[in-house]
Structure 1
């Protein structure tokens, strides 16, 4: 049984279609005083229930409002006797605050995990979490994460035909993610793919570091990250690649948040292309950005993950799969 709350309904419908289901009906109401409620409109007792809601900010609702709606809905499902409840949060907010970097800092990732546990969540499924180890350690309920790198690699293959490629980590924190993508891309291409690393330091909101390790001249540079917010990290890395002679630069980010000054990134000709997934719906886009931005649908990946979780299967090999039915699917960009 699959529910998709407002904010992720379009993605939920595509997942349901791939599973041969229809979305389970539910009610969401906002009262005049700002309070809200949500409830299933079908019996859930004893069922294996999945609830989808990506946690991102939108003009109609903040991240915190979405989180609260999801938690309340899970609580209602458990009170109604659901046998098992899986929260599907393609973009799980607050994943970047997984440790203290200053005295008295919060560890928000852990607090969010406690909230999910408090309402009775049995397991949570996310896509490309910021820190895999921190995510797994924060939750005492089941915590599953899959990666979209298989979708990205399948999309890149025709673009790299006859061209040398190098995967560039935009900072040291993303080096493991970049290496996993590089290895999968190398296997799929059947030829070596280079690696490079951009130096980055952040202090007091200021980003610094100009060091660059690796050879990109005459190659297609691929810069992966889990998310793009304002785009500052991606832009400085892409500019460094171009300065060193990269033939083309593709930015890959599972979660396209596009906050703040992200419009400047989308219009920056330093990028040959920017590829994101449908974990977050695309914001209203100017024509210049539409030509540079590609959105891959997460529905094939998430549908297969739900199928395996429901059947007691493993997600271990899913992130590297290049054989997902119907994937990758490029979604239409709208102005």
Structure 2
């Protein structure tokens, strides 16, 4: 057995295309073929999860690729059971790669007698023997503090910045970054700094979850190409309503960049029929056929970034270097180099 274990990838059923893409990118980066560990993750007739690993993982550096997206409970259980199987098989280290961290929106008590489910999930992950978390754009930064193990939280904003500079290269002076609520200002401001663009806010009032009663634009959007920046698009109701309000206030056109395309319920239909020119999401959650076929939805890949982050963790080098566009540009193989 070599002194330094090879990085080995294993995936559940949550986003197999992304896992395979990460494996391909790691193969390209290293010049050594990297395949997913041969395993089966199946269901018994009563929906219990069963995992069997067909390869020797003793002493190996294991990375489980499994976003806890819809169905969140099934995918979370797959992750926990895979981690348990690897720990009992004497893996040297287990890192959970969660491109999308489910239950992150339940990160605090907003009312009496409600749970903090993000903390509960953190406890469950640590309890199975997972020693490190790699994720992207946590809904709230403080969730990192819910863990007593290292958490590497990547950001989609450097990749979005590369994409925006390519897609809007002739409109850079007219760009206006929009936060769809006060809570997302820090995220939107961070991207605005990367683009040297101004910032505006759409303030919203909710009567109850999923329903917005009133929206107010804070800032001058007249004649601007507005880019709405957020981390999650679930039913797309708030997003589409914000786009309408921006146009009513004089915006020239509206686009959106969202890290995690949950896209549940009527989301695809709403976006397709909305006044938004385009919605750009990442592949952190496996897109449905409806999402892939929507004329105004575009998907940017995260595999190059995650592949490099996994290699950096394996090598013991900096993961925070991937926060910069200068680092990600070469990793994305000139995908966003101007023609």
Q: TM-score, normalised by structure 2?
A: 0.89
Identify the residue that residue 180 of structure 1 maps to in structure 2.
Answer: 190
Query: What residue in structure 2 maps to residue 189 of structure 1?
Result: none
Match of 1:121 in 2: 130
- After superposition, the C-alpha distances for 1:147-206 in whole angstroms (9 at most, x for unaligned) are 1111111111133223210000000111000001111122xxxxxx11100111224334
Equivalent in the alignment of 1:82: 91
CA distance in 2, matches of 1:229, 1:327: 31
**Maintained 8 Å contact 1:249/1:270:** yes
Q: Which residue of 2 aligns with 1:212?
A: 217
Q: Which residue of 1 aligns with 2:3?
A: none
Are positions 1:2 and 2:9 aligned together?
A: yes
Q: Equivalent residue of 1:323, what SS?
A: helix
Task: Give the secondary structure class of the aligned counterpart of 1:210.
Answer: strand
User: Match of 2:191, SS?
Assistant: helix
Q: Quick one: which of 314, 325, 335 aligns to 2:331?
A: 325
Q: How many Å apart are 1:325 and its aligned residue? A: 1.7
Q: 1:18 Cα deviation (Å)?
A: 0.9
Q: Does 1:263 align with 2:268?
A: yes
Other-structure match for 1:190: none
Give the superposition deviation at 1:218.
1.3
**1:194 aligned to 2:198?**
yes
Task: Describe how 1:1-335 pairs up with structure 2 within 5 A.
Answer: 1-20=8-27, 21-57=34-70, 62-133=71-142, 135-163=143-171, 164-186=174-196, 193-205=197-209, 206-285=211-290, 290-321=294-325, 322-326=328-332
Tell me by how many angstroms 1:72 deviates. 0.6
| Structure 1 position 328, deviation (Å) | 7.8
User: Which runs of 5 or more structure 1 residues have no equivalent in the other structure?
Assistant: 187-192, 331-335
Q: CA deviation at 1:327?
A: 5.4
Aligned residues: 318
Q: In 2, distance between residues paired with 1:328 and 1:129?
A: 27
CA distance in structure 1 between the aligned counterparts of 2:205 and 2:129, rounded to whole angstroms: 39
- Distance verdict in 2 for CA 1:324–1:95, change over 3 Å: farther
Structure 2 residues without counterparts, runs of 5 or longer: 1-7, 28-33
> Which stretch of the first structure deviates more once superposed, 298-307 or 310-319?
310-319
State the alpha-carbon separation in 1 of the partners of residues 249 and 218 from structure 2.
Answer: 11
CA distance in 2, matches of 1:273, 1:24: 37
Describe the superposition over 1:121-151 as per-residue Cα deviations: whole angstroms up to 9, x where unpaired: 1011111110012x11111122111011111
Query: Over aligned residue pairs, what C-alpha RMSD do you find?
Result: 1.8
